[in-house]
Amino acid sequence: MSTLFHDAPAGRPASLTRRVLNQGRYEAGTMLRNGEQLVLMIVMPLLGLIALAVTPILDGLGHSRIDVATPGILALCALSTAFTGQGIATGFDRRYGVLRFLATTPLGKAGLIAGKVIAVLAALAIQVVIISTVAAFLGWRPPVAGVLLGIPLLILGAATFTALGLLIAGTVRPEATLAITNLGWILFAALGGIVLPASKFSDTMAGIVNWLPSGALGTLMRGALLESRIDVFAIVILLAWAVAGSVAAIKWFKWN
């Protein structure tokens, strides 16, 4: 008996990278198994894409409806997953003590946040594949250079909205997080310039939209996927929101 235990290989803890990846896989699986999350991440953007493609809302912008609609809907996917979906999930994890428990494990606070970022990026990749496939059937043919520009911009947008979602989830009650992130999704989608370009609003409203993270991401995605260019003002605004949101989340996030 003693020989058997003596020859057994010593157990070793998993590396930090493996712990983070496993946490990211768990978080992504939880998001994709949640029916409400799927409606928010997949069904709503798809309905928005089809509605914009078959109605004259985006006419008169110099491009086909599907060419203008798809970049905005991809930006909306980042908003849905990173801001609303992750914000609500984190808010209720905090309420039930899951965050406090996980923060004391070898995963640590930084590993937990890294896992959430991986989950958001994994879910966003699935959204992009589904939306792009449906848009392609509707006639969307983006330039290759625009696609190469759009991918990092979409990741930057996801990082920005993840920081803002965690800021809300870590500072207010989960019920308030639920209300704020859902209301934020509606306002950003309808009036925030993420789906409709700022030119579709009045001059006063357009001036406000251009300073919002939603308006900046929508402008950047349309600039990249329509004209293969980066709007300098919009990327400065989005970077400013990303930095401000991250700093605020790090400073004020409460784990319990």
pLDDT at 52 over 80: yes
Q: Mind giving me the DSSP string for the chain?
A: -HHHHHHSPPP-PPPHHHHHHHHHHHHHHHHHH-HHHHIIIIIHHHHHHHHHHHSGGGTTSSS-HHHHHHHHHHHHHHIIIIIIIHHHHHHHHHHTTHHHHHHTSTTHHHHHHHHHHHHHHHHHHHHHHHHHHHHHHTT----HHHHHHHHHHHHHHHHHHHHHHHHHHTTS-HHHHHHHHHHHHHHHHHHSSSSS-GGGS-HHHHHHHTTSHHHHHHHHHHHHHHHS---HHHHHHHHHHHHHHHHHHHHH----
Rounded to an integer, the average pLDDT of 134-162 is 94
**Could you tell me if 81 and 92 are in contact, meaning their C-beta atoms sit under 8 angstroms apart?**
no
Q: What is the pLDDT of residue 21?
A: 87
pLDDT value of residue 1: 47
Mean pLDDT of 82-88: 87
Q: What's the pTM value of the predicted model, to 2 decimals?
A: 0.89
Residue 230 has pLDDT above 90, yes or no: yes
Q: How far apart are CA 200 and CA 151, in angstroms?
A: 25
Mean pLDDT for the stretch of residues 120-146: 94
- Tell me the mean pLDDT in the region 191-196: 92
Task: Please state which of the ranges 26-40, 72-86, 129-143 shows the lowest mean pLDDT.
Answer: 26-40
Q: How confident is the model at residue 251 (pLDDT cuts 50, 70, 90)?
A: confident
Q: What are the tokens at 26?
A: 């768990």
Side-chain half-sphere CA neighbours of 243 within 13 A: 6
Would you state the pLDDT for residue 85? 86
